[in-house]
Amino acid sequence: NAGGDARDVGPGVQDEAVAQVARLVEAVGADLGVIFDAHAERLWLVDDRGRRIPSAQTLLLLLRLIASSGVTGVAAVPVTVSDRVVEAVRGSGVEIRRTPASAAALMAAATADDVVFAAQPSGAYVFPELSAAPDALATTMRILALLLDAGRPLSALRETLPASTLVTGDLSCPWALKGTAMRMLIEYAKGHETDSLDGLRIYDDGGWVQILPDADLPVVHLFAEARTREESVALEQKYRQVLERIISDHVRIGREP
């Protein structure tokens, strides 16, 4: 079923396309349903019981299938995805490599000789052996081959996946304050382990938070993951409040005579 990119054709169309495919899967007893975006780059899955599989879960599913197929190599995923990707490939010959979150970084990572899979949580997947760029049709072919090898329906496979506690949020931030906010966050995070591959990741109290300024909008994205969803929400809120104070203080100072 081609269609349903909400960014291109308006809100609700993607959901309707998924719902239509889900009805067809149930009606004909299909093994799965696949929805392409308008450019046939991204895809979304419906399992054999007519249930949509969220993109984050699809990524874990593909990693689990690739790992269990005996493939060895690197799976490249952005810094913003759940650490459950490591659990999905544990004990296999597949290693997780983190990349910056942009589409360009995905393409660059996929060109490395040792990379067998690259993905973004938006539904864009790259199997370098089939295509050097996100290709929904090539991904569908690979999924069918992996499912044939697995010998189990999608509905059963998704039940074996580790549960993600990742939470996300956005915060408005004036363009002129993005650099200042990130520098002050680095100062605030002194004493914590950090990573600056893309934006800033701070490891805090058994979890982590990723603060990522948007490249095109006056927005900062926040991603947080801890042991439970409640702890993840609390971690996201903690750093949201830190950012809000930084932004508020500098906006106020900037307005003073």
Residues 60, 90: Cα–Cα separation, whole Å: 12
**What average pLDDT does the segment 131-139 reach?**
92
Contacts of 66 (CB under 8 A, 6+ apart): 75, 89, 94, 116, 117, 146
What average pLDDT does range 89-112 have in this prediction?
A: 95
Confidence band (pLDDT; 50, 70, 90) for 171? Answer: very high
Q: How many residues does the chain have?
A: 257
The answer, yes or no, to whether residue 6 has pLDDT greater than 50, is no
Q: What is the Rg, in whole angstroms, of the alpha carbon atoms belonging to the chain?
A: 20
pTM for the structure as a whole: 0.89
Question: What pLDDT sits at residue 148?
Answer: 95
Residues with Cβ within 8 Å of 226's Cβ and at least 6 positions away in sequence, in order, are 165, 205, 206, 207, 208, 232, 234, 235
Q: What is the pLDDT of residues 217-246, one digit of tens each?
A: 999 999 999 999 999 999 999 999 999 999
Give the position of tokens 């307005």: 255
The sign of the CA dihedral 234, 78, 44, 114 is: negative
Q: What is the pLDDT of residues 9-63, one digit of tens each?
A: 444 678 888 999 999 999 999 999 999 988 899 999 999 999 999 999 999 999 9
